[in-house]
Amino acid sequence: MESLIFEKADRIGIVRINRPKALNALNRQVIDELESLLDVLEGDETLSVLIIGSDEHFAAGADIRSMVRMNPAEAKTFSFSSTLDRIANLDIPTIAAMEGFALGGGMELALACDFRIASKTAKMGLPEINLAIMPGAGGTVRTPRLVGAARAKELILLGETIDAVRAEQIGLINKVVEPNLLMEAAMEWAQKLCQKAPIALKTAKESIGGGLNCATISEAIKLESERWADLFHTADQKEGMMAFIEKRVPIYKGK
């Protein structure tokens, strides 16, 4: 891998985009390498959390130089929405650790994660409208689900960049931290998530995602009830509750 750096610290995977000269803009190579990495990560049962970050800038968007002469068919092939869906659909929790610019496709990458933690100095937005296009990797779909349609339109139709404090105010990100504490904060959340029962995490994630996609609230509640009851098949549910009763820390096995 040239455009991505991957390391593993115990059960936590950290992937960093590595195209500093183009502010980590996402080109075909980055996406292909991400796909190959996902092929490995999706089957890795020793991984409990994935952090996506980069040094200096998260990603300043899809690579404009690659896109400038594309026709519609090429643009469709270039769109990396299916790659970001693979991230969104990972069984394990994912955290975007954002600093510098997180724009366009870079912001969409962060939106595909379960959590977004940003450095106070981060700048983010969906500026595609300024190039006479629009977000094409989940931005028009995930943004309104997070911040509501009016705020999403503000971001997507005005195409202005906002700072991390504003992003947290509108619910676009989960947390703002001092720049030197970004990775520490992401690791802290990752370590907390590592303590939870993996099947319960996966099921809760599916229930939230599935619930948002249901046409009616009653349909979503019905699915939630089924998933909730299914968790009583797991050894971890017995362990979690026994540990409470016996006043000890649970030891989960992911079963």
Q: Are 255 and 236 in contact (CB under 8 A)?
A: yes
Please pick, from the candidates 37, 131, 158, 170, the single residue that binds ligand HXC as defined by CB under 6 A: 131
The site for ligand HXC, by CB under 6 A, has a size of: 21
Q: Is 98 in the site for ligand HXC (CB under 6 A)?
A: no
Closest CA to 37 of 24, 52, 25: 52
Question: Applying CB under 6 A, which part among 96-104, 166-174, 175-183, 187-195 lies near ligand HXC?
Answer: 96-104
Closest approach of Cβ 95 to ligand HXC, in Å?
21
User: How many C-beta neighbours within 10 Å does residue 215 have?
Assistant: 7
- Three-state secondary structure call for residue 50: strand
Q: Are 49 and 58 in contact (CB under 8 A)?
A: no
Q: Is 99 in the site for ligand HXC (CB under 6 A)?
A: no
Give the torsion through C-alpha atoms of 192, 88, 228, 198, to 10 deg: -40
Measured between alpha carbons, how far is residue 13 from residues 46, 137, 155, 169, 191 in Å?
Answer: 10, 23, 31, 28, 11
Closest approach of Cβ 111 to ligand HXC, in Å?
11
Please pick, from the candidates 103, 176, 199, 200, the single residue that binds ligand HXC as defined by CB under 6 A: 103
- Three-state secondary structure call for residue 176: strand
Question: Applying CB under 6 A, which part among 99-107, 185-193, 197-205, 213-221 lies near ligand HXC?
Answer: 99-107
Q: Is 138 in the site for ligand HXC (CB under 6 A)?
A: no
- Phi/psi for 184 (5° steps) reads -60, -45
Residues of this chain, 16-35, that bind ligand HXC according to CB under 6 A: 22-23, 25
Which CB atom, from 101 or from 252, has the smaller least distance to ligand HXC?
A: 101
Q: Is 224 in the site for ligand HXC (CB under 6 A)?
A: no
Please pick, from the candidates 53, 93, 135, 198, the single residue that binds ligand HXC as defined by CB under 6 A: 135
Closest CA to 58 of 127, 129, 1, 108: 108
Please pick, from the candidates 12, 34, 51, 60, the single residue that binds ligand HXC as defined by CB under 6 A: 60
The binding site for ligand HXC (CB under 6 A) comprises: 22-23, 25, 60-65, 79-80, 101, 103-105, 127-128, 131, 135-137
